[in-house]
Amino acid sequence: MTDASDKTIDRQEAFSGTKPVDQALAFDEAKLSAWLEANVKGFRGPLTARQFRGGQSNPTYRIDAASGAYVLRRKPPGKLLPSAHAVDREYKVISALHQAGFPVAKPHVLCEDEDVVGTMFYLMDCVEGRVFWVPDLPGCETAERGAIYDVMNETIARLHSFDFEALGLGDFGRPSGYVARQIKRWSQQYRASQTSELAEMEKLMEWLPGATPADSGAAIVHGDFRLDNMILHPREPKVLAVLDWELATLGDPLGDFTYHLMQWQMPPSRFGGGTGSLVGLDLAALGIPSMEAYVARYCERTGRGGIDDLDFYFAYNFFRLAAILQGIIGRVRDGTATNENAGAMESQVRPLAETAWQFAQKAGAR
């Protein structure tokens, strides 16, 4: 296990760009090139692969070929948690959303033949632009920050407003009972990857199932909708592509949106764990909206009068993220983690669990 106690991580520096492919995640580039030439219209090799630094789950590679630049996303090799790393589901949802004009990278092909690179993968266009790993948007002007937050708000509201049946995604998940299933799933995943006992996680797993509110509706939910999962236009406040659809399904949009709100409540960490944090920053001076203003704009765009049970949704989402990071720690233990900074996530699980329990208490937990 990596010792995070003496390592400060700059998220923007640590997670941006590419690096040589880790030996454990390498594959035969000639074999891949031959397969793509046979299965992707217009693809021409030879190719070279580099691994993206960001991301904690499915290994992702930049593929530079004679015909252009692409991105390959695959399941990691080795022992995996049940139902995780579903790149075939990612491919299905981005295919449907691309057809609908939503900002995702153009998908090209899904390969279920594990002989090509060792695991299932899919290929999509490489979208060039800006990725911000910290939510205060360093290097941007005040007005641009506000505009980026507004377009981010518009993008998630648009996602939640799609008729998923019309997009051919009626079988992409069970629309009802999403939050309850998520609590059960992440409780199981937490147990499967647990490396120590946290009292707050135990209390949350006991309290959350009985406190779950009724569904607020049903929509396509991203599952990990945040600033660093978007590629922005190089110069304009415009979302070119939303990335990382591994956790996408059908479900309660407020569970998804409240996850997106966590940056306003995230315990700051010098280890790069969790997501970036806006806590303690002068948002008005930065040009970033308050959480209350951001919620109000989303509600306007989706026709809601407000969000009830916000404390519960925060408790659920901080619990969920703590379980997700515990899963990364479990993959470090099992040798299947895909990010060199994954070990530093261990320092963030306890603060996330503690924050989740604080929100649970606000929502009535005892």
Residue with tokens 């600033």: 227
Cβ–Cβ < 8 Å for 252, 241: no
Q: What are the two backbone dihedrals, phi and then psi, of residue 221, each rounded to the nearest 5 degrees?
A: -115, 140
Q: Are 43 and 65 in contact (CB under 8 A)?
A: yes
Please report whether residue 115 resides in a domain: yes
pLDDT value at residue 197 = 87
121: tokens are 């993968």
Q: Give the residue-averaged pLDDT of 89-110.
A: 98
User: What are the helix (H) ranges across the chain?
Assistant: 11-15, 29-39, 87-99, 142-161, 178-193, 199-211, 253-260, 283-286, 291-302, 310-334, 346-362
Residues 121 and 155 reside in one and the same domain: no
On whether residue 131 sits in a domain, the answer given is: no
Give dist(CA 135, CA 153) in Å, integer. 14
* Contact (Cβ atoms closer than 8 angstroms) between residue 167 and residue 239: no
pLDDT for res 170? 97
Considering the domain architecture, whether residues 150 and 291 belong to the same structural domain is answered as yes
Assess whether 146 and 259 both reside in one domain.
yes
Identify the domain boundary among 125, 159, 186.
125
Report the share of the chain in percent with pLDDT over 90. 77
Joined together, the tokens standing for residue 352 give 């996330």
Distance CA 44, CA 37 (A): 6
What whole-number distance in Å separates Cα of residue 341 and Cα of residue 349? 14
- How far out from the chain centre does Cα 200 lie? 24
Residues 354, 227 within the same domain: yes
* Peptide bond before residue 107 is cis, with ω within 30 degrees of 0: no
| pLDDT 10s digits, 174-219 | 999 999 999 999 999 899 888 888 999 999 999 999 999 999 999 9
Exposure of 259 in the CB half-sphere (CA atoms within 13 A):
25
- Contact assessment for residue 178 and residue 221, using Cβ atoms and an 8 Å cutoff: yes
- For residues 101 and 233, membership in a common domain is answered with no
The CATH number that applies at residue 307 is 3.90.1200.10
As a whole number, mean pLDDT of residues 292-316 equals 97
- Is the pLDDT at 63 greater than 90? The verdict is yes
Which pLDDT does position 2 carry in this prediction?
41
| Dist CA 100 CA 90 (whole Å) | 15
Q: What's the token pair of residue 252?
A: 């309660």
Q: How large is the average pLDDT for residues 327-350?
A: 66
pLDDT (mean) for 276-286: 95
What pLDDT is stored for residue 344 in this prediction?
A: 61
Asked, for residue 134, whether it belongs to a domain, the answer is: no
pLDDT of residue 48: 98
57 and 85 in contact (C-beta within 8 Å)? yes
Kindly tell me if the per-residue pLDDT of 1 is higher than 70: no
Q: Are residues 56 and 171 in the same domain?
A: no
Specify the pLDDT at position 193.
85
pLDDT at 36: 98
Question: What pLDDT digit, counting tens, does each position of 216-257 carry?
Answer: 999 999 999 999 999 999 999 999 999 999 999 999 999 999
Q: Are residues 202 and 303 in the same domain?
A: yes
User: Lowest mean pLDDT: which of 35-39, 309-313, 325-329?
Assistant: 325-329
On whether both 193 and 298 belong to a single domain, the answer is yes
| 255 and 292 inside one domain | yes
- Write out pLDDT tens, residues 109-162: 999 999 999 999 999 999 999 999 899 999 999 999 999 999 999 999 999 999
Residue range(s) defining the domain that contains residue 80: 4-125
- Kindly write down the DSSP assignment for every residue of 67-85, as one continuous string: TEEEEEEEPPSS---TT--
Number of independent structural domains in the chain? 2
User: Residue 176 corresponds to which tokens in the numbers above?
Assistant: 């009802």
**Structure confidence at residue 77 (pLDDT):** 84
| Mean pLDDT computed over every residue of the chain | 90
Q: Are residues 115 and 234 in the same domain?
A: no
Residue 180 maps to a domain: yes
